[in-house]
Amino acid sequence: MAEYKVSDYVVDHLEAEGVTCAYELAGGMLAHLLDSFALRRTVRLVSMHHEQGAGFAAEGHARMTGVPGVALATSGPGATNLLTAMGSCYFDSTPAVFLTGQVNRHELKGDRPIRQLGFQETDIVAMARPISKGAWRAGAGEEVPGLLARAFELARGGRPGPVLLDLPMDVQRLTVEAPPPARRERPGPRPERVPASSVDDLLAALRRSERPLLLAGGGIRSGGAGALFARAAERLGIPVVHSLMGRDALPFEHPQSFGMIGSYGNRWANHALGECDLLLVVGSRLDIRQTGTDTEGLARRPIFQVDCDPGEMNNRVRGVHAVCADVKDFLAALLAAAPAPRPVPAWFAHLAELRARWPDEAELAGAPGLNPNRFLRRLGAASRAAAAFVVDVGQHQMWAGQSLAFAEGQRFLTSGGMGAMGFALPAAVGASFACPGRPILAVAGDGGFQLNVQELQTVATHRLPLKLVVLNNRCHGMVRQFQESYFEGRYQSTVDGYDAPDFARVAAAYGLPSRRLDGTLEQGEAARDAAAAEALAWLWSDPSSPALLEVLLPIGTNVYPKLAFGRPITEMEPLAKPLEMEGT
């Protein structure tokens, strides 16, 4: 046993859990914790410029390392500003521990019929419970060691997610006796925990299949199973399609990889999903953005769904063969049992022909200005040095999912379930601290970039090697496209009433190198390609330094293909028209 000030113990516990960086915005109720970080100097404290930015940075860090990300905020508005990032971690299964300062225990209103007693007193625990795996307030100093251990165990265990621990200021300064914190290693795969019958049934079904398909979901990465998945996919030897969150399960150019499915998926990938005669789903919940509304049509073939969360199976799509297991355990068991690949050359040839018939770069053929799919394909090819592509939410997110090419080992991070605009810049900051010395590429739209633009100062302060690409179409493009389809082109609040600055000049004000590529000019494709190539060469001229490239797009640029809502997954705009208005 040893004697600790509680705030000192918190820092020592973070170090023992493998935390190297924590992200925060200073506030009075964090004073003791901040001082302990300064005295201990074992965990780097990164000061952000908004608590939401701190939360997204913690999420980006965790997504790159698998170690729970840590963000800190003071009571009241500081704590509530963390909630969007907490929800993002919860929906996308990212392990995180959020630490909030709270007013002194004697300043808590308790059962009094009042709204607030202490200044900035807010019941963040009650607010956080619906979007966390656990949320607690420490009522005494001796509770803190056990609560911290429980928080990290819960954040990592099962389906990962966030946990919140609220620390009153007077508790932070107490002295406690506790054993020195010890690192706990996460267990490796345990194939014996997967029923042998589920693997046998799958392999038997695969032997009978002529058009098998493997759907890679985000649970592969959140379950720490990236390398195992690649080996298992190659052992099975069948085509692979990806959800948005599973986009980096295989490299873009892998011969088995056939693109992204879903509402804005590659046209050929949706045909693969609609035409397959067997579907193996690994770590994906088959939500409406992946499957569309025709769940009965999807369920007409055998579906084997592997997920650690039983509630996500036989939910929207009924009649699946549910395999409730940790994805690492399942893939290890599959590798142990699967024979050599059974070739399905006709199926591969058919999918290759579909991809050749409907290339992603041709979906916007004839549209004015720079082709975003073509640009993002070239951006990926120019960015082989990047450790990760961090993508915001909006039209650019769909173009990136369709066309961004990345190599072996490169990660693709975006906000899926929460769909939080403003994610990319702060999450890229966290990814950068997680991968010191390696550049990170962030892609955002003009609308989302403005939500956390203040984190350009964090980039400037630390001279982080972030390559920032802002696709600026001077509107909220995703909703504008929705208004074009269903509201007769009344662009309230997406075009009318909306505006964006000159982002190159904004970046320059923060002391960051910047440049603008005008993709709205009336010029031939060859001239646009040459201008884009020059801009990308500039962006990567010094991989160790930050830089921002603003890319102007015509205001009316749409994302195609797009699922024709109400129709089967194979029927997509603009070749098909929706039967009903989208409800999601």
Q: What is the mean pLDDT of residues 531-560?
A: 97
- Reported as a single tens digit per residue, the pLDDT across 96-130 is 999 999 999 999 999 999 999 999 999 999 999 99
- Reported as a single tens digit per residue, the pLDDT across 268-277 is 999 999 999 9
**With pLDDT > 70 as the criterion, what percentage of the chain qualifies?**
99
Q: Residue written as tokens 């098998």?
A: 212
Q: What is the pLDDT of residue 469?
A: 98
What structural domains does the chain harbor?
A: 2-178 (3.40.50.970), 191-357 (3.40.50.1220), 360-560 (3.40.50.970)
Q: What is the mean pLDDT of residues 528-549?
A: 97
Choose between 291 and 243: higher pLDDT.
Answer: 243
- Asked if the model's pLDDT at residue 186 lies above 70, the reply is no
Here the tokens at position 106 are 């004697």
16-30, 208-222, 562-576, range with the lowest pLDDT: 562-576
DSSP code of residue 388: E
**Residue 228: strand pairing partners:** none
From residue 90, alpha-carbon distances to 34, 54, 83, 118, 157 in Å are 26, 16, 10, 29, 13
The helix (H) or strand (E) run that includes residue 412 is strand 411-414
Q: What is the pLDDT of residue 97?
A: 98
- Reported as a single tens digit per residue, the pLDDT across 347-386 is 999 999 999 999 999 999 989 999 999 999 999 999 999 9
Q: What is the pLDDT of residue 336?
A: 93
Mean per-residue pLDDT of the chain? 95
Burial 499-529 (b: 16+ CB within 10 A, else e): ebeebbebbeebebbbbbbbbbeeeeeeebe
- Reported as a single tens digit per residue, the pLDDT across 443-471 is 999 999 999 999 999 999 999 999 999 99
The length of the chain in residues reads 584
Q: What is the pLDDT of residue 584?
A: 62
- Reported as a single tens digit per residue, the pLDDT across 278-313 is 999 999 999 988 888 888 889 999 999 999 999 999
Burial 207-227 (b: 16+ CB within 10 A, else e): eebebbbbbbbbbbbbbbbbe
Contacts of residue 223, defined as CB under 8 A and 6 or more positions apart, other chains included, come to 160, 283, 308, 326, 327, 328
Phi, psi of 205 (to 5 degrees): -65, -40
Prediction pTM value: 0.96
- Alpha helix ranges (H) inside 423-476: 424-434, 446-449, 456-462
Q: What is the mean pLDDT of residues 521-549?
A: 94
Q: pLDDT-derived band of residue 184, with 50, 70 and 90 as boundaries?
A: confident
Q: What is the pLDDT of residue 98?
A: 98
Q: What is the pLDDT of residue 377?
A: 96
d(C-alpha 448, C-alpha 452), whole Å: 8
- Asked if the model's pLDDT at residue 402 lies above 70, the reply is yes
- Asked if the model's pLDDT at residue 52 lies above 70, the reply is yes
Q: pLDDT-derived band of residue 530, with 50, 70 and 90 as boundaries?
A: very high
Region of residue 577 (left: phi > 0; alpha: psi -120 to 50; beta: else): beta
DSSP code of residue 68: P
Q: What is the pLDDT of residue 504?
A: 98
Q: pLDDT-derived band of residue 582, with 50, 70 and 90 as boundaries?
A: confident
How is 153-210 classified by DSSP, letter by letter?
HHHHSSS--EEEEEEEHHHHT-EEEEPPP---PPP---GGGS-HHHHHHHHHHHHH-S
Contacts of residue 430, defined as CB under 8 A and 6 or more positions apart, other chains included, come to 21, 23, 56, 57, 58, 59, 60, 61, 62, 64, 69
Q: What is the mean pLDDT of residues 217-228?
A: 96
Q: What is the pLDDT of residue 265?
A: 97
Q: What is the pLDDT of residue 254?
A: 96
Q: What is the pLDDT of residue 304?
A: 97
Kindly compute the dihedral angle of the four CA atoms of residues 421, 422, 426, 427, in this order, to the nearest 10 degrees.
10
- Reported as a single tens digit per residue, the pLDDT across 306-355 is 999 999 999 899 999 999 999 999 999 999 999 988 899 999 999 999 99
d(C-alpha 348, C-alpha 210), whole Å: 10
